[in-house]
Structure 1
């Protein structure tokens, strides 16, 4: 078939004499004396606004998959760890790129909306850490469970929530994922339990979710995330102890982005080997800026938990480009040059892009087209988040109780002036 296409294209570039020669060669592939095939029905026109991209390269021109060396994980109480080589298909690479780029653009749009005073209150951005969210999602199943702290926008998206629902939640609108009542720190989805504002408090909750998985015997795991700033909380070590005693299928993950608020890990922790903090629990230290490294480590950890061996502790070494929150410029305790150096040398999106381009798994034009599509999605979502109405006062007490409204005592309850709907 490829030879036939080459011959056809050459026919239109040569003179009559040469055309005759090529047509003789073409007759090996096509019966030139056969009557023309009946005309196919005309395709309906594309919907208004639809862009049709014609690429000079076909999918067959790209490398379908490639294997990449990845940084070896540091191990604690483990004889062997994840592979130091990762296989990536073209489809996976495009999916990872699209997801991480969407999270990046979404966070930059949130930054813009906050500075315009459209987003109010707390707002903790995730740009720079996209490989953690994408790598974790790629290494577990949709039926597995995940709970995290307040830097939650990226995980809300990878767990299946649309960008418009995330941005609308940030602006406090009715169409937000939590009906506009949660804001930046409190977003939820199926098998995703937030978005939690109290430092470290989600860790015992995650252990409880893992206990439910064990109790139900569903072969599922719970990924429980916390930051280096929460790593010294006592409730984390209590959770470690119970999870180890009961051999819970829990992956405890410390996202070490180097700073707890404005305090570096060296100033806040006597030991910065967070993957060893479980002591009697095995641990892994992972390059959190490499999506493939995170994916392979999570797969290893999930298999470990599903085998009934109990919990495992992971440390993802990562970096946030913004400050702790939007009220923190992030340059008083670190320099702009330090941030720029990470962006230049160790950016998770750029790293994946370079791998794909250098191994002919995609083209610059294709990735640019994805970028344009993402920008359109983000802009449309932002317009929705601005124009969607705010929840009415009547909805203030709704969805507080899962089933029945609160019990009345002597004909009253805390929301007696408002109607509470479960």
Structure 2
């Protein structure tokens, strides 16, 4: 240690080694954090109200949420530049939901979602490059450029579906899962608005965590990644122990409009959005927790921010220049491991071959 310190002061140690040494000397390894108590329904006890956050976890969560935030902002920019067409629903503001969810389950667990799923695509293992390339309809996209924003998939992730559960279908699913005691976690990402209507204007009761009726429920602070993580762990243990389904309402907020055709300010004020950004932004809350508890400092987080910016910019460049899929490949991948077969096109003289 004395030789290393001497080398530091003499300027002999390279920057990465110096940074690693100083980090080990001045930062805490872990901290105990208080988190908001969840509202419970048909449960005698809920998730803990305190948890341990390690430095490694904090850095990982911070970087992941920053990647999702910057990726969504880049998608917004590329849509306005007409690189991205069609439907596109952004999840900036809701990063703690997808990152906290992934932190509370196993990689082998399965996730099915509707749209506004770019963040879940990333936490499930897809690269920024493959996500942005899918948005621009390029061959390097995660669905070969054929799915776009609303149809992205990867291992154990069946997401980006364009159909949102209609009321009747949701309640039928709740009933079936309760009857069969299925190990399902139902999640309502309550971002306070439908397409353009506030929840309290559309629903006589906004206690969405209670709307599974016979299914136990949790209402969670969806702006705090640790609250989401601990609630998800609790819900997963509930399911794995054979107790059947559970419902989680994550109270969160979207900064963008419902879709790219919605400016998001006709049914809410700019002041409201800014108030959420300044008081309960999920990245800001984690950043403050890390700095105030000596898990990191401003300089280190700035380095992460710069690295994230570089990664997203490079991915965007790829997504703008990668070739589009060839027309003759339009019918490929209709089935998995299926022998090639002929598919008729828009008229009977136009034929394609589908390959797995």
Q: Report how far residue 61 of structure 1 moved.
A: 1.4
The alignment of Structure 1 onto Structure 2 pairs a total of residues equal to 350
Match of 2:175 among 241, 245, 261: 241
* Separation in 2, partners of 1:10, 1:165: 41
Q: Please list every run of at least 4 consecutive aligned residues from structure 1 whose deviation after the TM superposition is greater than 3 angstroms.
A: 8-12, 51-56, 412-416
Whether 1:122 aligns to 2:87 is: yes
2:210 maps to 276
2:283 maps to 349
3-state SS of 2:248 partner? strand
* Separation in 2, partners of 1:9, 1:403: 59
Whether 1:78 aligns to 2:52 is: no
3-state SS of 1:286 partner? strand
Whether 1:134 aligns to 2:99 is: yes
3-state SS of 2:149 partner? helix
* Separation in 1, partners of 2:8, 2:222: 50
1:363 maps to 297
Match of 1:321 among 236, 255, 263: 255
* Separation in 1, partners of 2:18, 2:161: 45
* Separation in 2, partners of 1:337, 1:128: 15
Whether 1:103 aligns to 2:37 is: no
Does the 8 Å contact 2:128/2:315 carry over to 1? yes
Match of 1:386 among 304, 307, 320: 320
1:266 maps to 200
* Separation in 2, partners of 1:403, 1:160: 23
Give the aligned CA root-mean-square deviation in angstroms: 2.3
3-state SS of 1:184 partner? coil
* Separation in 2, partners of 1:334, 1:59: 46
Q: Report how far residue 271 of structure 1 moved.
A: 1.5
Whether 1:337 aligns to 2:271 is: yes
Whether 1:181 aligns to 2:146 is: yes
Does the 8 Å contact 2:340/2:355 carry over to 1? no
Q: Report how far residue 321 of structure 1 moved.
A: 0.2
Which structure 2 residues correspond to residues 153-232 of structure 1 after superposition, within 5 A?
153-200=118-165
* Separation in 2, partners of 1:167, 1:11: 44
Q: Report how far residue 86 of structure 1 moved.
A: 1.4
Does the 8 Å contact 2:142/2:153 carry over to 1? yes
Q: Report how far residue 269 of structure 1 moved.
A: 1.6
3-state SS of 1:183 partner? coil
* Separation in 1, partners of 2:80, 2:4: 55
* Separation in 2, partners of 1:92, 1:413: 49
1:414 maps to 344
Question: RCO greater where, 1 or 2, for CA within 8 Å and sep 6 or more?
Answer: 2
Whether 1:301 aligns to 2:301 is: no
Does the 8 Å contact 2:104/2:229 carry over to 1? yes
3-state SS of 2:40 partner? strand
Structure 1: give runs of 5+ residues left out of the alignment.
Answer: 13-42, 201-229
TM-score, length basis structure 2:
0.94
Structure 2: give runs of 5+ residues left out of the alignment.
Answer: none
Q: 1:145 to 1:10 in 2, by over 3 A?
A: closer
* Separation in 2, partners of 1:358, 1:148: 35
* Separation in 2, partners of 1:297, 1:161: 24
Does the 8 Å contact 2:89/2:116 carry over to 1? yes
3-state SS of 1:58 partner? helix
1:29 maps to none
Does the 8 Å contact 1:86/1:293 carry over to 2? no
Which structure 2 residues correspond to residues 10-49 of structure 1 after superposition, within 5 A?
none
Q: Report how far residue 60 of structure 1 moved.
A: 2.6
Deviations 1:63-92 (CA, angstroms, capped at 9, x unpaired): 000011100000000000000001100000
Whether 1:404 aligns to 2:334 is: no
